[in-house]
């Protein structure tokens, strides 16, 4: 029988330090119902984590805009732009699994402090190089590689911290709020980056990123995180990695969630790379419309995450929510691909962003609930391998567009997403009944 842990610290942190199978309840002993949009923010340590997410995401988006602008200004090469984006994702394939092992072997808060310090120092150093007037293409690629490795360590450990600083009843809300904060900065960050380039220059932008990462460091420093309940240090790092892979392979539910997570990254997310084609050749609009098209999915994702954070406890079967989000993502892609009217295209893109984040947040929640804390770092790093596969999907979409056009390519992408979602739901019936 599951043990019940009463939360008597309503405004303090409630780490999920109870044994596996424990049910964590509120002080009243019941699970909350109805709207509770910001319920997880009542936990102090999660507040620090969430505010840090805002700083981190804002700095990340400013960085991406600045790097792309600076590289294109130096070279005028779209090929190098694609290579730079691919290099940013590559470390998730190579160093990501190692990061998961490290997250289960050492103090996770300290690991975050180290990774965030690397990001801050790299941004400040890059700002100095650009302001000094000696920046070259190799500087940009080296900076991207170093920060990509740091991100591949930082992201999995941030994922593992959420269940440690909120009780189980607030986990879905906390993950949704994290995604909402990320997507809010996704809407604001690129515009802010462009304005900063115009006002303080690319070098000043890197210094702004360094200050944003300093804010993240301050939030992590203030956090109190319970130690991971793992005996990974008693074995070799290679044995730890094999244990994580074996767990994923032997758990049908976890494996199904991992495979489902690949679907949007390979067959849906590449639509973003085709936005200039739709803006110019399909909608026949000016370049100012491109910014609206890139912002629309972020707006939809932000609203979807606020909705999910508000009613997370209302949905009895999160498996259906996951599959429904994936199917609706495919439908939204098809609608977008076939429209030539800008307002309808923007609405369809907002639904694309909302459905995508609904799927991703639900998948993340189910994984966090299913995986034991001792393996969470390794499993989440394996889960995030899909970040490294995104460039392959973009290459596939670009090649298809060359032969059959962007509308047909995106329509086929939507159809593939729907069919794969139905296949996952059919092959893993347990997924549909998950609460």
Q: Give the chain's end-to-end CA distance (angstroms, integer).
A: 19
Helices (H), 223-337: 237-250, 252-267, 275-277, 287-311, 318-337
Q: CA-to-CA distance for 297 and 358, rounded, in angstroms?
A: 12
**Local structure of 22: helix, strand or coil:** coil
Helices and strands, number each (H, E), in the chain:
16, 2
Number of domains in the chain: 2
* Whether residue 257 sits in one domain with residue 199: no
* Whether residue 304 sits in one domain with residue 167: no
* Whether residue 267 sits in one domain with residue 188: no
CATH number at residue 181: 1.20.1250.20
Q: CA-to-CA distance for 137 and 133, rounded, in angstroms?
A: 12
* Whether residue 174 sits in one domain with residue 53: yes
* Nearest Cα residue to 115 out of 64, 152, 163: 152
* Whether residue 191 sits in one domain with residue 316: no
The tokens describing 378, both together, are: 């390794």
Backbone angles phi, psi at 203, to 5 degrees: -60, -45
Residue indicated by tokens 């109805």: 34
* Whether residue 308 sits in one domain with residue 209: no
* Whether residue 417 sits in one domain with residue 293: yes
Expressed as residue numbers, the domain containing 108 is 38-223
Tens of each residue's pLDDT in the chain, 435 residues: 333 333 333 333 434 333 333 333 333 333 444 456 777 888 899 999 999 988 888 888 788 778 877 887 888 776 677 678 778 878 888 887 888 888 888 788 888 899 999 999 999 999 999 998 888 889 999 999 999 899 888 888 888 888 888 888 888 788 888 878 877 777 777 667 777 777 888 888 899 889 989 999 999 899 887 776 666 667 777 888 888 889 988 888 888 888 888 888 888 888 887 887 888 788 888 766 776 787 788 889 888 888 877 765 555 667 788 888 999 999 999 999 999 899 999 999 999 999 998 888 888 888 888 888 788 888 888 888 777 777 777 778 878 888 888 899 999 999 999 999 998 888 877 776 665
Residue 363 lies inside a defined structural domain of this protein: yes
């Amino acid at each position: 029988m599951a043990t019940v842990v009463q939360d008597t610290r309503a405004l303090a942190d409630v780490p999920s330090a109870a044994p596996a199978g424990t049910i964590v309840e509120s002080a009243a002993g019941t699970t909350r119902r109805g709207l509770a949009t910001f319920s997880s923010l009542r936990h102090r340590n999660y507040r620090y984590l969430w505010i840090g997410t805002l700083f981190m995401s804002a700095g990340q988006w400013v960085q991406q805009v600045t790097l792309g602008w600076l590289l294109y200004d130096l070279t005028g090469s779209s090929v190098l732009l694609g290579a730079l984006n691919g290099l940013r994702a590559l470390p998730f394939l190579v160093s990501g699994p190692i990061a998961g092992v490290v997250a289960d072997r050492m103090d996770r808060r300290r690991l975050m402090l180290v990774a965030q310090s690397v990001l801050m120092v790299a941004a400040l150093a890059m700002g100095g190089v650009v302001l000094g007037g000696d920046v070259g293409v190799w500087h940009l690629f080296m900076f991207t590689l170093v920060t990509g490795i740091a991100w591949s360590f930082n992201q999995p450990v941030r994922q593992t911290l959420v269940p440690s600083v909120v009780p189980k009843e607030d986990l879905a809300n906390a993950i949704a709020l994290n995604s909402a904060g990320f997507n809010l900065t996704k809407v604001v960050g690129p515009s802010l980056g462009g304005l900063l380039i115009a006002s303080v220059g690319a070098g000043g932008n890197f210094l702004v990123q360094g200050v944003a990462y300093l804010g993240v460091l301050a939030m992590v420093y203030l956090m109190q995180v319970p130690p991971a309940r793992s005996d990974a240090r008693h074995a070799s790092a290679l044995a730890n990695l094999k244990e994580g892979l074996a767990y994923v392979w032997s758990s049908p539910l976890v494996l199904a969630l991992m495979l489902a997570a690949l679907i949007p990254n390979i067959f849906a997310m590449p639509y973003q790379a085709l936005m200039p084609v739709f803006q110019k050749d399909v909608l026949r609009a000016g370049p100012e419309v491109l910014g609206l098209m890139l912002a629309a999915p972020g707006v939809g994702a932000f609203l979807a995450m606020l909705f999910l954070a508000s009613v997370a406890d209302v949905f009895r079967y999160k498996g259906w929510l996951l599959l429904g989000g994936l199917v609706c993502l495919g439908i939204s892609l098809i609608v977008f691909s076939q429209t030539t009217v800008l307002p309808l295209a923007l609405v369809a893109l907002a639904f694309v962003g909302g459905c995508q984040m609904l799927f991703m947040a639900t998948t993340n929640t189910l994984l966090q609930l299913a995986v034991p804390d001792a393996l969470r770092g390794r499993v989440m790093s394996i889960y995030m391998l899909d970040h490294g596969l995104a460039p392959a999907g973009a290459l596939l979409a670009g090649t298809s567009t060359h032969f059959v056009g962007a509308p047909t390519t995106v329509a086929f992408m939507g159809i593939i997403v729907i069919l794969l979602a139905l296949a996952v739901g059919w092959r893993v019936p347990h997924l549909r009944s998950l609460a």
